[in-house]
Structure 1
Amino acid sequence: MQLIAMITMLIDHLGYVFFPGEPWMRIIGRIAFPIYCYLLVVGYQRTRSKKRYALRLFGLTLLSQIPFMAAFVTTGVNVIGTLFVSLLIIMAIDYFKDQQALQVLVALILLTATAWPLEELHFDYGTYGVLLVLIYRYLPNAWAMVGGHLALNMVWISAFHLSADIQFFSMISTFFIAGIHSASPATQTEIRLPRWLWRFFYPAHLAIIAVISWQLNDITWDQFVLWLTY
């Protein structure tokens, strides 16, 4: 799953920066984000130290921010920042794991409190991303995840007047995840990538994309800094 997420994300980002007229690359890219959300939940459940897990994610958010801004010419916050916020929310919810009513209340309060800054600061995927993480974390089974993700897409597209758009292709990932959950343990296989590759692929590939894009468009560091401070 890690390899699928990395490859489809790379195709998506190459399409966004270099081939904006090729929608098939963006469609393939919709596969990546749900997998990252799901693997965040899996990592959270398996980690020996949730605090260290959160700190690593925060460090990767900081490391990725400049490459993200440079590659996409944006002042928004990269997607690892969205995953980091999502992680903090599920940690807070699970702190009250023996009090279900209080968990629901905490979830509603945190979603309400983070919705405005996530959207105003242009976190990549924003509240949509947080909700998808919560779907993977708290819905009771894999096929409930499929229904939850479908409902999220429909509500989000309706609420923000988006076209019935390529985001629906992200459902492919949730169907894939549901299939893995439904398979017997004996048939489940997983390619484990080196940790350094999995952790640093995101900032590294964005930095490379930014350098190539700058070369092609004759952008200098001084121009980039001027744009940031404008």
Structure 2
Amino acid sequence: MLTMLIDHIGIVWFPDDSKWRMLGRLALPFYAYALVLGYFRTRSVNRYLQRTGLIALLSQIPYMMLFKQAEVNTVGTLFIGLLLLMLMDRWKGKLPAQIAVIAAAVLLVELLPFSYGAYCLLLVLLYRYSSPYWMIAWHFALNAIFVFYKGWYIQLFSLASTMLLVYLPDFVRAADRINIPRIVWRSFYPLHLLLLTAAYYLLTSG
């Protein structure tokens, strides 16, 4: 949440200062990894999917107002990622069906478009199916592809999150033990977008 907040403050108020964006690159991998953990740990995948969808819906208008982007917000992309995980397990052992589902999801998020698009979905699949031994290599390859595909050079800094997950898991677990109420986790994305949007328009109108 903190690195995401830093990223969004940087986008809105300090677009020419890359340090904000570099720190902000840590956010998406952590959220993608948490989505995969949540998929395995939740007592009801359907309710998890519904909650994720609701957060995405509540966030959409402030997201578009703040970033002036006609795209689905990042939680909306994670919602598609969660749905993809469910379908992959439903058709487990049926490789042609799984490939077709991945291709359809990638086309969906790239064409509509969704925030982070196929990058986010592939990152979710990476954390779901890769062993820790290969995780960093796969993430580096994914970043390299998107450097050539979309010119996302700054996204290379996101590799630091995977390195923390692989090499310093005790540090990550220590952060995970911080007792933050569920309502804070679930409301933070739409609420921080709403507050940043209000602050931006109040400051610019003055």
Q: What's the TM-score, normalizing by structure 1?
A: 0.83
Distance 1:175 1:29 in 2: 15
Q: 2:15 aligns with which of 8, 13, 20?
A: 20
Aligned to 1:107: 98
Aligned to 1:178: 166
Partner SS for 1:48: coil
Aligned to 1:136: 127
RMSD, matched Cα: 1.9
1:202 aligns with 2:189: yes
Q: What's the TM-score, normalizing by structure 2?
A: 0.93
Deviation at 1:70, TM superposition (A): 1.2
Distance 2:66 2:133 in 1: 36
Distance 1:167 1:151 in 2: 12
Letter in 2 for 1:172: A
1:215 aligns with 2:206: no
Distance 2:128 2:5 in 1: 26
Distance 2:123 2:89 in 1: 17
* CA contact 1:38–1:133 (8 Å) conserved in 2: yes
Letter in 2 for 1:125: Y
Aligned to 2:43: 48
Deviation at 1:205, TM superposition (A): 0.6
Query: Which structure is larger by alpha-carbon Rg, 1 or 2?
Result: 1
Partner SS for 1:74: coil
Letter in 2 for 1:201: F
Deviation at 1:107, TM superposition (A): 3.0
Q: Which 4+ residue blocks in structure 1 deviate beyond 2 angstroms? A: 104-107, 114-117, 187-190, 216-219
CA deviation profile, 1:59-105 (whole Å, cap 9, x unmatched): 111011111111111211100000000001110011133x2xx1x32
Deviation at 1:114, TM superposition (A): 2.4
Unaligned runs of 5+ in 1: 1-5, 220-230
Partner SS for 1:129: helix
Partner SS for 1:148: helix
Partner SS for 2:69: coil
Distance 1:112 1:45 in 2: 23
- Distance verdict in 2 for CA 1:170–1:217, change over 3 Å: same
Distance 1:159 1:20 in 2: 22
Unaligned runs of 5+ in 2: none
Deviation at 1:180, TM superposition (A): 4.3
CA deviation profile, 1:156-177 (whole Å, cap 9, x unmatched): 21233x16x1100000000011
Letter in 2 for 1:123: F
Deviation at 1:188, TM superposition (A): 4.4
1:62 aligns with 2:57: yes
Letter in 1 for 2:137: G
Deviation at 1:148, TM superposition (A): 1.0
Identity %: 41
